[in-house]
Amino acid sequence: MARRFGGQFSPGGKPDGPGPVGAPATTLPPPLRGRARTTILMALSALPVVTAFAQDGALSLAGSLLAGALLFGGAALTREGLKAEAAWQARRIARRPALPRKVFGAVVTGCGVALAAASGFEPSLAAIVYGIVASALHVVSFGLDPMSDKGMEGVDAFQTERVARTIEEAERHLAAMQDAVRRARDREAETRVARLSARAREMFRAVEDDPRDLTAARRYLGVYLMGARDATVKFADLYVATRDAEAKAAYFNLLDELERGMNAKRETLLVSDRTDLDVEIEVLRDRLKADGLPTGD
């Protein structure tokens, strides 16, 4: 989505300066892999629609229009599948997509090509072959959906499932916050929400590294993010109507408090992990000493 330009010399802009200590730099998300190809597929779906009105007969017209709709729908399914795959790859613990969107996109695209090649709704061997080839090329170009859950060795399936489910819910809260704050049309607010999201995802990674930390971090991943989502929705609705500076300042204070809390909780999780490591090292050293082996002490 396009973003308004802003900076030190823009209207309403503020001089550049150091931000809060420890604030991560705002980065743009990486471009979606394969997005350009799905855009081309969406553009190609207009061809059967353009040629539909040159067809003879109502059935040929309806067949061409339906072919264009199928091609566009196949491209849209594929793009959603690419987004789900990117989210799956970015996380260390993740469940496979419940709906194989890229596979369905290949099937729908093949049906659209077959219908476009047919004469109306009358199937022919050539049209069927074209559809099969189109589906095969779609799979070669975009690949298949992730077919397995991604977990961690040494972690039981129940813990992995709990972590994956909790982080999926937390990601939905972050996505809802980002969608809501865009309605406020305030670049600074969008930047602050993006910074909080980055901090939250750092906590996600810490929990994925050690699912035993889920219990300690669950309040931040659920209750607090849900409250932040609701506050963001109310702020956006109020600010777009009134441009209330006091409401904006109060909202930013809330984000600051959440960010500080997440930083503190993440540090606590890291200290706990370090303590666990030290305990494991000491236990191993005691065993080596008991066996009469040198430990270097």
What are the residue ranges spanned by the domains of the chain?
35-142, 157-290
User: What is the reported pLDDT for 157?
Assistant: 63
pTM above 0.85, yes or no: no
The C-alpha atoms of residue 116 and residue 131 are separated, in whole angstroms, by 9
User: What is the reported pLDDT for 202?
Assistant: 83
User: What is the reported pLDDT for 174?
Assistant: 92
User: What is the reported pLDDT for 290?
Assistant: 61
Is 38:79 a contact under the CB 8 Å cutoff? yes
User: What is the reported pLDDT for 193?
Assistant: 93
Question: What residues of the chain score a pLDDT lower than 50?
Answer: 1-28, 273, 275-276, 278-279
User: What is the reported pLDDT for 49?
Assistant: 85
User: What is the reported pLDDT for 153?
Assistant: 54
What's the alpha-carbon Rg for the chain, to the nearest Å? Answer: 26
User: What is the reported pLDDT for 78?
Assistant: 93
Output helix, strand, coil percentages for the chain, rounded to the nearest 5: 70, 0, 25
User: What is the reported pLDDT for 161?
Assistant: 75
Tell me the C-alpha to C-alpha distance, in Å, between residue 139 and each of 68, 77, 110, 279: 20, 13, 11, 49
User: What is the reported pLDDT for 272?
Assistant: 53
Of 166, 157, 149, 256, nearest in space to 206 by CA: 166
User: What is the reported pLDDT for 129?
Assistant: 93
Residue type, 160: T
Count Cβ atoms below 10 Å from residue 50 Cβ, excluding itself: 10
